[in-house]
Structures are given as C-alpha cells and as structure tokens.
Amino acid sequence: MPGWSCLVTGAGGFLGRRIIRMLGQEKELQELRVYIRTFKPILKEELSKLQTKTKVTVLQGDILDAQCLRRACQGISAVIHTAAVIDVSGVIPRQTIVDVNVKGTQLLLDACVEASVPVFVYSSSISVAGPNSYKEVIRNASEEEHLESTWPDPYSYSKKMAEKAVLAANGCTLKNGGTLHTCALRLPFIYGEECQSTSFAIKATLKNNGIHKKLATFSVVSPVYVDNAAWAHILAARGLQDPKKSPSIQGQFYYISDDTPHQSYDDFFCTLSKEWGIRLSTWSLPLPLLYWLAFLLEMVSFLLRPVYSYRPPFNRHLVTLLNSVFTFSYKKAQRDLGYEPRVSWEEAKQKTSEWIGTVVKQYKETLSSKTQ
C-alpha cells in the first residue's frame, strides 16, 4: 500500500479519535483526511498530539451533504466510516437516526463510487444481530450463525440497513473502472478512557452516594477496549488494499472483541471503578418484573402522547440489551484480518480505572467549589 490516503468520518467521536491516533502512526499513509460536523476542542487536542509527517486535513461537513462528501472523497484510497447517531433510549427522533445512519452511509458509498475510492470499512454494531430476547442465550457466537435483530427500534434497524447497504456495495464498479471493496466490523460496547457513557454513569453513581443501581446485572457480555476496536479498523483498511488478503475480506462482516472477561455490565462497571469507592446496590428487581414494568411505562408514554410527551427512563429493548447473555468470538477476524488485541485486559483495566479516578476527582472538586 505505498502512499495510501484515508478519510475517517465521525472523527470527533470516541472511536474515531483513536482511529486517527493509530493512523497517525502508519508510515505509508500520505494523507489523513478527517470529516466532521463540528470541530470540537477534544478533536483539536487529539490532532495536536499527532507526531507524524502525514498530511492531516480537517473537513467540516454534514454526513447528509452529498456534494461535501464527494469533495471529501476525492483522491482518497480508503474510507473508514464511523459517523453515526447512537441512541437506545428513545431520546433522538427516529427519522434523525435513520437519516444519518442509513441515508448518510448510502450517500458516502455513492461518493466513493463517484470519486473512485476502492476501499470502504464500516463501523457496524452487534445490535444488528440482537439480542431479541433476554431468555435467549448466545455465547461466543460466530459470523456463520447469521443472527439478526428483530427489534423495530431505530438504532438497531438503522445499523442493520446501513450494514446491508455497505456489504451489497462490494464489487460495485467505480467511475474510473475500478472496483469497490467493502467490509463491516460489528462492535460491542466499547470502553476505555474518555468514554462518554462511562463518564455519565460514574457521575450518576456519585450523585447516588457512590452506589451503582442494578439495571444490567443479568447480562453476560464481551466489551472491547477502544484501542483494540480501532486497531481492527486499521487492519481491515490495510487488508482490503492487500491483493493477497482482500479476496477473503471483501463483502464480509466481522465480530470484534478482545480478551476482556465476559461478565455483566454491572459487574464490569464496578470492576473498573471499585478502586474509587463505587459499589453495587444490594438489590435489584427480578428481570421479568423489570421487563413488564418497562412495558407499562411504554404504554403510559403511548397513551399520553396526544397531550404530553413522556419519555420512560427505560424500555423493553433497553432492558433486553442490558440483561442478555450475548457474547461473540473474534476468530474470523483473527483468520482474515490478522487481528490480535494490541492491549491486554490488565492494561486496558488499569488505563480505564486511572481515567475513572480523574473523573471522580474532578466531580468532587466541582461539588466542593459549589458548596463553598
């Protein structure tokens, strides 16, 4: 891949920033092109840390702006598409999620064809595979099992449709007569330093005197450390450009995980944060009762809709996501992409825990300044 160039969408996000960091270390990369909607300070800080001779270009634009996407793709060798709206709680309007995740992905694929970009790597999600019921047990599932989510919620639906569009585009003829090669990486919950959802959870727990409420204690999941998730994208982009590896990768999807121990979300959260005084609540509702309580809350929301907009604190889909046995094997990614986790569980745990310590410290300092 002498002198290749790469466009990263969603570059201001948690995963996108780590991908940029790793691409900055690619010796053969001539240009790193960053596509974002808003140039946030955290991305500016990330870019300032890059020690690379690679040309770095920042482009601001909407993922739904076809003309802007075509300009962004001009002269690019590979696209890594991470931009997406993530919402499993029903906060964001359905149409917004579907537009960004499905229409935005299709517009980017069209731009690649128009600009003759031969490689497209898509950040997908395990939510396209389920879980469909908390009663169903899925352990170390492989790609050959053809699991598919049946939930109508906008996030799972949109990621599933976008992934199908990406894989269907594999083999398309480019404007210059070349061929588009695509693949998708299905990612579980991604953790690590600067994870926004973890930061929110820590602050909510500290407000509750350091006691973490049990809402996901019945699950068994396989989270992935952010650096390992990012590394898989680099390998996929490399592999699709390698004449020897590319034929086995084209049009394929891969589950990406690492050696993080499989456990419940609640236990995982406390494993990372217990050093800072975080502890689990001693009680929780039985799972069937929690599920039907979610159903009742959804009914209340539905009945009130004509006169009042009520958003339940949780729904059946969220209860299912947080309380299912749902783990995956990364053997196919090992075989085809040469993927091996770059960061061990012990190192990932230490780095994440140290970062959580800074979140706790900042929260307490802010609270102290307000009370003075």
Residue 84 pLDDT exceeds 70:
yes
Residue 277 pLDDT exceeds 70:
yes
247 vs 68: CA distance, rounded Å: 31
Rounded alpha-carbon distances, angstroms, from residue 202 to 160, 171, 272 = 30, 45, 11
Task: Give me the pLDDT at residue 368, please.
Answer: 76
193 vs 170: CA distance, rounded Å: 34
What number is the average pLDDT over the span 67-93?
93
337: alpha, beta or left, given left = phi > 0 and alpha = psi -120 to 50? alpha
- Name the band, by pLDDT with cuts 50, 70 and 90, for residue 88: confident
Q: Which of 87-101, 138-152, 223-237, 330-344 has the lowest mean pLDDT?
A: 87-101
Task: Give me the pLDDT at residue 369, please.
Answer: 75
What number is the average pLDDT over the span 233-237?
98
Task: Give me the pLDDT at residue 282, please.
Answer: 84
Beta bridge partners of 31: 5, 55
What number is the average pLDDT over the span 98-124?
98
For residue 159, indicate whether it is catalytic: yes
pTM: 0.94
Rounded alpha-carbon distances, angstroms, from residue 127 to 108, 131, 185 = 22, 7, 12
What number is the average pLDDT over the span 41-69?
88
Task: Give me the pLDDT at residue 68, please.
Answer: 96
- Name the band, by pLDDT with cuts 50, 70 and 90, for residue 2: low
The percent of residues above 90 in pLDDT, for the chain, comes to 81
Task: Give me the pLDDT at residue 1, please.
Answer: 58
Task: Give me the pLDDT at residue 3, please.
Answer: 81
Task: Give me the pLDDT at residue 202, please.
Answer: 94
Task: Give me the pLDDT at residue 372, please.
Answer: 63
Q: Which of 35-44, 240-249, 271-280 has the lowest mean pLDDT?
A: 35-44
Catalytic residue among 103, 159, 160, 332: 159
Task: Give me the pLDDT at residue 49, please.
Answer: 81
Torsion of CA 235, 176, 174, 251, to 10 degrees: -30
The percent of residues above 70 in pLDDT, for the chain, comes to 99
Beta bridge partners of 120: 79, 182
**Which has more pLDDT, 363 or 236?**
236
**Which has more pLDDT, 46 or 157?**
157
Cα 50 versus chain centre, distance:
22
20 vs 234: CA distance, rounded Å: 10
Task: Give me the pLDDT at residue 131, please.
Answer: 96
What number is the average pLDDT over the span 167-196?
97
What number is the average pLDDT over the span 13-38?
92
What number is the average pLDDT over the span 351-357?
97
Task: Give me the pLDDT at residue 59, please.
Answer: 92
Cα 352 versus chain centre, distance:
17
57 in helix, strand or coil? strand
Please give the structure tokens belonging to residue 144. Answer: 């050959």
- Name the band, by pLDDT with cuts 50, 70 and 90, for residue 114: very high
Cβ contact 246:239 at 8 Å: yes
What are the structural domains, with CATH classification, of the chain? 4-194+223-259+327-342 (3.40.50.720)
Only one residue has tokens 């210059």, namely 176
What one-letter code names the amino acid at 164?
K
Cβ contact 113:179 at 8 Å: no
Beta bridge partners of 274: none
